[in-house]
């Protein structure tokens, strides 16, 4: 995300610099020369945009170093100035004017970029920003391997990494000095504080494979990249991708399904569309509220606890569709077809999925997305078991925000969860959505929800 933001700031700065040069030069040339001036600047900007650059030089903390930024910008800027010179020379056939114009363009754009980089560098030296840009890394393990790794992360002078803590079984005899708790403590903390990566690091022991398998299953629900030190892997496993922590190679066991930039894209679309929906539907909200109040006593809105991204609990908002004195505030009981708790108006609100519309406020708050796996209450059961216990893959749904609608819903997998097969079908669609995510897929699901699910006979 940092690289993308700085890239667009560079492009904007170049456009501003080109406009300054054009305005200055257009006042000093004949009218028939105006198109050539504009074309020359436009070509220079286009060359800068398209010129290949080393984006790793925009990573934190390299982006704060003058030498790295000179390497990143210099070649593309001089290539753009040469392209500008070449265009002007072709049309004007004046070496002196072409050189003067391209040199002016180069000096002004360097000045604008310099001001932009000063601003970016100032921002990136703020302690709050540095803390946000650090990759928080938790170590799961014990022994010398965990100690050395924790020391390296703690002493990172570039502030690229921050030690989240060292976690392991509290009964383990080889505890590290940086010990922060057990695996359950790590899971609980990850729901409060952002965690970017987990590294398994412990000596090779007889029970190591079993320990690794056990904690891998427990940590599947944590929204984090998970790595393992090479000494714990037998032989060369070419199917496992490799990444580096400084000079140390690590095997990748799990990746977050969406990158930071993809999460940013999805969040922006969610916020804009949800805000527009609330404003556009406000008169409809008023009419529905009046209908609910006329039909039965009680509040217009109803909220219940749900499990969201990374297993965090939040309250979901709905139009009240049940009698107030019969409402299930903790969602201990699923709604069934012909449920006597549902009011006359509530029946139609649920049938047309209108009761879900207030969840736009959850989207604005950041607890939900417009599209994603539907959130379930903590006490929801399928086949007599809690959902987390009924199906191991269920926890993988926590890797993205829950949605108002989802891939499972538009494919008919909605309504009450009665059997384990109902749960498997729904989770299968949810995981397929997570693997295939794109903005286009989100828009497709929203469209299908409007034309299909609103008029579905499966809702109750």
Q: What is the pLDDT of residues 196-246, one digit of tens each?
A: 999 998 887 666 677 788 888 888 888 899 999 888 776 555 567 888 777
- 278 and 427 share a domain? yes
Better-predicted residue by pLDDT, 212 or 12: 12
Given a contact cutoff of 8 angstroms between Cβ atoms, the answer to whether 179 and 166 are in contact is: yes
User: Does residue 405 register a pLDDT over 60?
Assistant: yes
Contact yes or no for 395/362 (Cβ under 8 A) = no
pLDDT band at 390 (very low <50, low <70, confident <90, very high): confident
- pLDDT single digits (tens) 62-119: 888 888 889 899 999 999 999 988 888 887 767 888 888 889 999 999 999 999 999 9
Domain boundary among 94, 127, 160: 127
Q: Is residue 102 part of a domain?
A: yes
Decide if 460 is inside a domain.
no
User: Is the predicted pLDDT of residue 355 greater than 80, yes or no?
Assistant: yes
> What is the reported pTM?
0.75
Whether 52 is in a domain gets the answer yes
Residues 117 and 181 in one domain: no
How many domains does the structure of the chain reveal?
Answer: 3
Residues 304-310 have a mean pLDDT of 90
Give the residue numbers spanning the domain of 48.
2-127
* Domain presence at residue 198: yes
Do residues 276 and 225 both lie within one domain? no
Contact predicate 302/318, CB 8 Å: yes
């Amino acid at each position: 995300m940092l690289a993308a933001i700085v890239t667009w700031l560079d492009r904007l700065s170049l456009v501003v610099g080109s406009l300054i040069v054009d305005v200055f030069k257009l006042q000093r040339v004949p009218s028939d020369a105006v198109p050539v001036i504009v074309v020359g600047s436009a070509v220079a900007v286009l060359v800068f945009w398209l010129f290949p650059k080393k984006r790793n030089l925009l990573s934190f903390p390299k982006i704060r170093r003058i030498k790295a930024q000179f390497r990143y910008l210099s070649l593309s800027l001089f290539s753009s100035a040469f392209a500008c010179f070449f265009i002007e020379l072709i049309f004007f056939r004046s070496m002196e004017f072409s050189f003067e114009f391209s040199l002016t363009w180069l000096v002004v754009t360097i000045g604008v970029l310099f001001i932009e980089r000063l601003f970016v560098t100032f921002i990136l030296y703020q302690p709050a920003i540095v803390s946000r840009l650090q990759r928080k890394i938790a170590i799961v393990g014990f022994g010398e391997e965990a100690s050395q790794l924790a020391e390296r992360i703690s002493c990172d002078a570039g502030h690229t990494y921050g030690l989240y803590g060292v976690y392991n079984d509290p009964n383990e005899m080889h505890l590290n000095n940086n010990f922060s708790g057990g695996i359950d403590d790590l899971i609980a903390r990850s729901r409060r504080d952002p965690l970017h990566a987990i590294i398994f690091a412990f000596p090779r022991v007889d029970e190591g494979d079993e320990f690794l398998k056990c904690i891998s299953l427990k940590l599947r629900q944590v929204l984090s990249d998970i790595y393992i030190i090479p000494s714990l892997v037998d032989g060369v496993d070419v199917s496992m991708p490799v990444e580096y922590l400084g000079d140390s190679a690590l095997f990748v066991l799990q990746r977050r399904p969406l990158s930071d930039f993809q999460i940013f894209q999805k969040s922006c679309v969610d916020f804009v569309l949800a805000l527009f929906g609330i404003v556009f539907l406000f008169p409809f909200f008023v009419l529905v509220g009046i209908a609910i109040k006329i039909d039965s006593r009680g509040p217009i809105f109803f909220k219940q606890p749900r499990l969201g991204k990374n297993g965090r609990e939040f309250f979901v908002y709905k139009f009240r569709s049940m009698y107030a004195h019969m409402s299930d505030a903790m969602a201990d009981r699923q709604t069934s077809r012909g449920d006597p708790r549902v009011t006359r108006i509530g029946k139609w609100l649920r049938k047309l999925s209108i009761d879900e519309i207030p969840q736009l406020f959850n989207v604005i708050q950041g607890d939900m997305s417009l599209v994603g796996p539907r959130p379930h209450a903590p006490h929801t059961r399928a086949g007599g078991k809690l959902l987390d216990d009924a199906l191991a893959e269920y926890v993988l749904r926590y890797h993205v925000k829950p949605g108002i609608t989802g891939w499972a819903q538009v494919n008919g997998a909605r309504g009450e969860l009665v059997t384990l097969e109902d749960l498997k079908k729904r989770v299968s669609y949810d995981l397929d959505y997570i693997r295939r995510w794109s903005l286009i897929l989100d828009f497709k699901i929203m469209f299908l929800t409007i034309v299909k699910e609103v008029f579905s006979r499966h809702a109750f």
